[in-house]
Amino acid sequence: MAFAERVVIVGGGIGGLATALSLSRSGGAGHIQVLERAPRFAEIGAGLQLAPNALHALTQIGVPEEAIAACGFHPSRLALMDALTGQLITALDVGEPFLRRYGRRYTVMHRGDLLQLLLDEATSRSNIELCAATTVVGAAGNGRSATVDTADGASHHADLVVGADGLHSVLRDIIIGESELVLSGYVSYRGVLPFDRLADVAGGEDMLIWCGPGMHLVQYPIRRGELYNQVVCFRSDRYSPEHDNWGTAGEIDSHYENACPAVRAGVELIDRERNWKMADRAPVDSWISGRLVLLGDAAHPMLQYVAQGACQALEDAACLGQSLAQSATVDDALSTYVRIRAPRTARVQHSARMFGQFLHLDGMGATVRNFLLRRRATDDYSESEWLHGYR
Ligand SMILES: Cc1cc2nc3c(=O)[nH]c(=O)nc-3n(C[C@H](O)[C@H](O)[C@H](O)COP(=O)(O)OP(=O)(O)OC[C@H]3O[C@@H](n4cnc5c(N)ncnc54)[C@H](O)[C@@H]3O)c2cc1C
């Protein structure tokens, strides 16, 4: 087994905390320090889809299945709806046949609930140290160890540094060099409401994905069905890479004015305070430089359309722990980790781009899409097998 006496993880989001758990459980790390720049470890108030591939990873790193089930919600179907006509296009049965096939239910939950599960586990492990309000500003390595510098002037030495610092990763620039952030011109708004506020138009036990020209709306219940999560996404007519003043809240309603009443009712209630501009980066072959390595969005940021960014970060975390447990040296473990993870996450990144185009089709393209999808069986898992069936 490979062993790193001191590990520093930069970023205490889903990927960073999951990695701390995974390394602690694998026995491949001594002391694990998680450095998070936010004043406390927290997630934004929104929902998260977790497919079986992510649930297997979570159990592998030691999060109890019962704890996940206690705060998750299990939709019966993933229903693709036409945002203009209000009609069902196709549905994927994620009930019993899905459970039999993948051994886990498709689960949706509040992000804060998942982060709390990870935090509860992390605080119960004596070799994990959680440091909030600690911003990493630089890192350097000599091949056998690495040092991380923080904004308060401190330096943290480690045998292994994991950059789990998200889309705008500082560690990525150091490990890979600058890489282009590819803005898609799409923007998302998200929010959570008491389920009762949308009960009349909500999809009951189904997760609804309403698609229309240059827009989509995702809706599903979370926290045992007490809350309803919504993500409103559209292509901004004002998009320009030259300035940031696009995708504003003032553009939302005009984008959805031709949508069916159920969609308009949901969009009206969306939180307009904050938005997320949809962006990714092109896949790269390696995320290692000596003892510095990347994970999650820092390594392979993707568009959110296949709902896999966090799922892939969890797979990464499980894989890194397992690689340490099964390798002779830390360097071998890092090579194995990247050899396994880079091709898979690249495929997910590409698929997310393609699925976005498919969702947002207009005119004849949308007509053909709907015609073809209406013919598929609800228990036809062939298209998503590679994604959801992965262990
Ligand atoms: C609208 C939307 C919907 C989505 N829906 C889903 C979904 O349903 N399912 C799914 O799997 N994925 C989904 N995703 C993607 C998912 O949110 C991300 O892929 C996931 O959060 C990545 O986790 P991470 O830990 O790698 O990065 P992050 O969540 O970005 O965490 C990075 C952490 O590092 C910290 N940090 C950053 N810089 C520093 C620094 N210099 N020093 C110290 N700390 C630092 C940050 O504060 C943060 O806590 C969605 C994304 C969006 C935008």
Q: Which atom of ligand 1 is nearest to the CA of 190?
A: 1
Structure-block tokens of residue 79: 């229903």
13 CA distance to ligand 1 middle (Å) = 6
**Sheet with 155-158, side-by-side order of all strands:** 136-141, 146-150, 155-158
**Residue 141: beta bridge partners?**
146
Structure-block tokens of residue 324: 């340490």
The answer, yes or no, to whether residue 162 has pLDDT greater than 90, is yes
Do 26 and 325 contact (CB within 8 A), yes or no?
A: yes
Structure-block tokens of residue 178: 């600058």
Do 292 and 174 contact (CB within 8 A), yes or no?
A: yes
Q: Which atom of ligand 1 is nearest to the CA of 302?
A: 19
Please work out whether the CB of residue 313 comes within 6 Å of at least one atom of ligand 1: yes
Which of 193, 185, 179, 265 shows the shortest CA–CA distance to 223?
193
186-225 residue pLDDT tens: 999 999 999 999 888 777 899 999 999 999 999 999 998 8
129-152 residue pLDDT tens: 999 999 999 999 999 999 999 999
Give whole-number Cα distances, 368 to 151, 363, 365, 372, in Å: 54, 9, 5, 6
Q: Which residue minimizes the CA distance to atom 51 of ligand 1?
A: 304
User: How does DSSP classify residue 138?
Assistant: E
Can you tell me the distance from the alpha carbon of 22 to that of 24, in angstroms, rounded to the nearest whole number?
5
Can you tell me the distance from the alpha carbon of 316 to that of 55, in angstroms, rounded to the nearest whole number?
13
Do 125 and 29 contact (CB within 8 A), yes or no?
A: no
296-306 residue pLDDT tens: 999 999 999 99
State the average pLDDT for the chain. 96
104-130 residue pLDDT tens: 999 999 999 999 999 999 999 999 999
